[in-house]
Amino acid sequence: MKSTKLNLAIILTVTFSLAALADDDSTNAPAPTLPPASTKTGVTFDADIKPIFHDSCVKCHDSAGAKPPKARLALDTRDGVLKGSKDGPVITVGDSAHSDLVLAVAHVGDDPDEFMPKGRNAKPLTPEQIGLIRAWIDQGAK
């Protein structure tokens, strides 16, 4: 009899702990994931990436503008992207999944302030565009 009560107590404790854990999970939105890299081969900055950055990023990240680019990060040239920002590199050549620029455009991370593009009328990049940027980085950022 005693042991039945003990078992019951254990079961209840475990059940409540699990319920608490499950509750914790449900209050957090599911972690966003990165769109897969494009399967396109021979991806280059000039042919594939420059048009994307031109449309969505260069108004704030332009090496040739009147003002310095935001975060001192120029995205109008391949050299600018490779050089990175005032805080250092924004891509890891060969490893798009750990490239800050990719996380920023895929809206992965804890700080929405870092999500790009910014601005009132900012339109997020499409999964296809993010996939191309990933393929470009994974293929050596040529």
Binding site for ligand HEC (CB under 6 A): 56-57, 59-61, 70-71, 73, 75, 85, 87, 90, 100-101, 104-105, 113-114, 116-119, 122, 125
Tell me if 64 sits within 8 A of 51, measured CB to CB: no
In the bound state with ligand HEC, the residue whose beta carbon lies nearer, of 26 and 121, is 121
In the bound state with ligand HEC, the residue whose beta carbon lies nearer, of 104 and 139, is 104
Q: How far is the CB of 73 from ligand HEC (least distance, A)?
A: 5
On the CB side of 110, CA atoms within 13 Å amount to 0
Q: How far is the CB of 112 from ligand HEC (least distance, A)?
A: 9
Q: How far apart are CA 49 and CA 67, in angstroms?
A: 23
Among 29, 53, 67, CA closest to 104: 53
Q: How far is the CB of 114 from ligand HEC (least distance, A)?
A: 5
| 85 bridge partner residues | 88
